[in-house]
């Protein structure tokens, strides 16, 4: 009896102690620094409203109206600064050099990335800089050749006839998944797959489950002590799935390493191995020794993790918007028919003459911002943004959604209007200032040079082949689904009529 009273007292004492320490720490920070303002946040829980929200960007919109474009909010025990307009984002990511270029440490991510050896979540260290340099060089080398267009056409030639077999209303997600996976798989490993390929089925299943399960984060990351005591079923499942994915990629990478021939570069994995070898001539030996095979392999995980979801969801948005906007769809098709015709697939070179199609995709990426609050940054030193102090190691979020819906930069914000991106000659003009889907600065999306032609060609090819409509009775307005980390259209169906038969 006494023991149980004492242990209850102990737990209470520890909790109260913890809360007191946190409150004192926060008061000290408020006193020492001129922090951005923000809503009331409970110790350990943070903002109850933000923790409950389906979409963080919606709560952040409300806070921006009250506190301005730079505010402080806590999610669980993490205090973060959120940037909600292009001025503060440019100041932080571009003008402040590397001040904002770190990533916060999450135990879960560290585990899934074999000890933080990937690009997307690793800290801004000399090893990371070298890793990113080598991966960037390999991507540029790969994109420079003709491989990319070949694998894209091969994949589209496989997927389009399958989609053309659909006669009634159907959910296009499976086909889009197949297109995107096939292309990125062929980019990485030179091989295009069939819809029923067991590896593809496993890979997509794992990818969908991971996206869904990681969307709301892990309670273990809020309270890291849990890693030592007990982990949730969700965390254990995700670890198992991530391990499966790593072992698929590991097998493929090792096969490539064994058969590598610098005179015959087959795919991006070969380009990566080549770029690593070339670096031996240029880089400091000790630095290079830090960059292990695990790092190189994790680059492929980066491409799959950061590339597949963003691309496939952007294309869900594109197809869903076109189904509800027949006038814009017709204009895209008129342009494609005029520039490309109906007898061959669009090529990378056509892109410069398909301005309206490209502008339509830009508008899809604005209204359907697939990574609404980006990837979290962390400060490397005490720094400043928007006139406020930001202490070292503060988590900083970039609200891309807010940038893309800022009424100061976008007239008639909610209107789908591709002409925003066109000049008086109907050509793609300067990038609008507050359009930033790929972010900026030291951590700008590494895959932008792949994503832009990839999305453009898939979109143009779908539009060239099909007239897309919504089944009768569907509301043409797009409804949002997904989670705070990846928004997507709520589940929908389309009817696709093969234009070859019209
Ligand atoms: C619609 C397509 C895409 C969008 C909207 C997108 C957007 C983003 C954003 C917002 C970030 C975070 C930047 C930051 O931290 O400030 C990012 C990072 C990244 N993206 Fe993409 N991305 C797309 C496609 C891709 C593709 C196809 C790849 C790979 C081929 C890729 C690879 C990466 C990598 C590796 C990072 C981490 C960069 C770093 O931490 O230094 N992304 N992306």
Give the pLDDT of residue 10. 67
Which helix (H) or strand (E) covers residue 359, if one does?
helix 355-367
Q: What are the b/e assignments for 33-67, b being 16+ CB within 10 Å?
A: eebbebbebebeebbeebbebebbbebbeebbeeb
CB 385 within 8 A of CB 70: yes
What separation in Å is there between the alpha carbon of 455 and the centre of ligand 1? 14
pLDDT tens per residue, range 297-321: 999 999 998 999 999 999 999 999 9
Pocket of ligand 1 contains residue 241 by CB under 6 Å: no
Pocket of ligand 1 contains residue 188 by CB under 6 Å: no
Give the pLDDT of residue 2. 42
What separation in Å is there between the alpha carbon of 453 and the centre of ligand 1? 14
Burial of residue 1, with CB atoms counted within 10 A of its CB: 0-12 exposed, 13-18 middle, 19 or more buried: exposed
Cα distance between residue 182 and residue 191, in whole Å: 8
Provide the 3-class DSSP secondary structure of residue 422: strand
CB 461 within 8 A of CB 341: no
Q: Taking the domains of the chain in order of start, what are their residue ranges?
A: 33-501
Cα distance between residue 316 and residue 328, in whole Å: 16
Give alpha helix (H) positions in 55-95.
Answer: 56-67, 86-90
Angle made by CA atoms 451, 194, 293, in degrees to the nearest 5: 55
Contacting residues for 447 by C-beta, under 8 A, at least 6 apart: 139, 303, 306, 307, 310
- Specify the residue for token string 């406020």: 388
Pocket of ligand 1 contains residue 119 by CB under 6 Å: yes
H helix and E strand count, the chain: 19, 10
Neighbouring C-beta atoms of residue 384, cutoff 10 Å: 14
What separation in Å is there between the alpha carbon of 447 and the centre of ligand 1? 6
Give the pLDDT of residue 262. 93
Give the pTM.
0.92
Contacting residues for 444 by C-beta, under 8 A, at least 6 apart: 93, 438
Q: Which of 88, 211, 306, 444 has the most ligand 1 atoms within 8 A of CB, as the residue to mutate?
A: 306
Cα distance between residue 263 and residue 310, in whole Å: 33
Tokens of 397: 């979020």
What separation in Å is there between the alpha carbon of 77 and the centre of ligand 1? 26
Ligand 1 nearest atom to the CA of residue 455, by list position: 1
What separation in Å is there between the alpha carbon of 392 and the centre of ligand 1? 24
Q: Which of 135, 447, 449 has the most ligand 1 atoms within 8 A of CB, as the residue to mutate?
A: 447
Pocket of ligand 1 contains residue 303 by CB under 6 Å: yes
| CA 497, chain centre distance (Å) | 31
Burial of residue 144, with CB atoms counted within 10 A of its CB: 0-12 exposed, 13-18 middle, 19 or more buried: exposed
What separation in Å is there between the alpha carbon of 201 and the centre of ligand 1? 24
Pocket of ligand 1 contains residue 445 by CB under 6 Å: yes
Give the pLDDT of residue 253. 93
Residues of the chain with pLDDT under 70: 1-11, 14-15, 18
Tokens of 58: 């919606």
Pocket of ligand 1 contains residue 451 by CB under 6 Å: yes
Cα distance between residue 60 and residue 50, in whole Å: 8
Cα distance between residue 193 and residue 154, in whole Å: 10
381 annotated among ligand-binding-site residues: no
Give the pLDDT of residue 5. 46
**Packing angle between helix 268-282 and helix 233-259, nearest 10 degrees?**
70
Dihedral sign for Cα 109, 112, 114, 118, please.
negative
CATH code reported for the domain at 33-501: 1.10.630.10
Ligand 1 nearest atom to the CA of residue 398, by list position: 16
What separation in Å is there between the alpha carbon of 135 and the centre of ligand 1? 13
């Amino acid at each position: 009896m006494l023991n149980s009273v004492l242990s209850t007292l102990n737990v209470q004492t520890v909790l109260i102690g913890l809360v007191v320490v946190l409150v004192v720490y926060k008061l000290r920070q408020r006193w020492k620094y001129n922090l951005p303002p923000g809503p009331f946040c409970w110790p350990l829980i943070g903002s109850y409203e933000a923790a409950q929200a389906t979409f963080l960007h919606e709560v952040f919109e409300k806070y921006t109206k009250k506190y301005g474009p730079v505010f402080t909010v806590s999610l669980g025990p993490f205090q973060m600064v959120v940037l909600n307009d292009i001025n503060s984002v440019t100041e932080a990511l571009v003008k402040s050099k590397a001040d904002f270029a770190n990533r916060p440490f999450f135990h879960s991510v560290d585990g899934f990335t074999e000890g933080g050896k990937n690009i997307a979540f690793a800290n801004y260290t000399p090893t990371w800089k070298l890793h990113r340099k080598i991966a960037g060089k390999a991507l540029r080398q790969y994109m420079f050749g003709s491989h990319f267009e070949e694998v894209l056409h091969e994949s589209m030639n496989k997927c389009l006839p399958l989609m053309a077999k659909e006669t009634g209303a159907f959910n296009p997600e499976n086909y889009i998944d197949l297109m995107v996976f096939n292309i990125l798989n062929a980019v990485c490993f030179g091989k295009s797959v069939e819809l029923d390929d067991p590896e593809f089925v496993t890979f997509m299943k794992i990818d969908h489950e991971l996206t869904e399960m990681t969307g709301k984060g892990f309670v273990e990351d809020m309270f890291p002590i849990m890693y030592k005591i007990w982990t949730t079923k969700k965390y254990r499942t995700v670890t198992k799935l991530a391990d499966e994915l790593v072992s698929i990629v590991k097998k493929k990478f090792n096969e490539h390493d064994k058969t590598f021939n610098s005179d015959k570069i087959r795919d991006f994995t070969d380009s990566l191995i080549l770029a690593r070898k070339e670096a031996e001539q240029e880089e400091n030996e000790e630095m290079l020794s830090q960059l292990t095979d695990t790092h190189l392999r994790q680059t492929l995980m980066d491409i799959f993790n950061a590339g597949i979801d963003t691309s496939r969801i952007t294309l869900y948005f594109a197809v869903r918007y076109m189904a509800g906007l027949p006038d814009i769809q017709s204009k895209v098709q008129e342009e494609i028919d005029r520039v490309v015709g109906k007898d061959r697939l669009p090529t990378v070179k056509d892109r410069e003459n398909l301005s309206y199609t490209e502008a339509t995709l830009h508008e899809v990426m604005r209204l359907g911002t697939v990574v609404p609050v980006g990837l979290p940054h962390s400060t490397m030193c005490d720094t400043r943004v928007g006139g406020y102090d930001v202490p070292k190691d503060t988590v900083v979020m970039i609200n891309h959604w807010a940038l893309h819906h800022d009424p100061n930069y976008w007239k008639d914000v909610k209107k789908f209007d591709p002409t925003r991106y066109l000049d008086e000659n109907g050509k793609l003009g300067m990038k609008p200032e507050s359009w930033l889907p790929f972010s900026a600065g030291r951590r700008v999306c590494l895959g932008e040079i792949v994503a832009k032609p990839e999305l453009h060609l898939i979109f143009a090819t779908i539009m060239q082949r099909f007239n897309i409509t919504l089944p009768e009775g569907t509301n043409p307005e797009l409804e949002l689904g997904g989670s705070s980390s990846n928004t997507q259209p709520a589940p929908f169906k389309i009817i696709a009529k093969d234009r070859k038969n019209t």
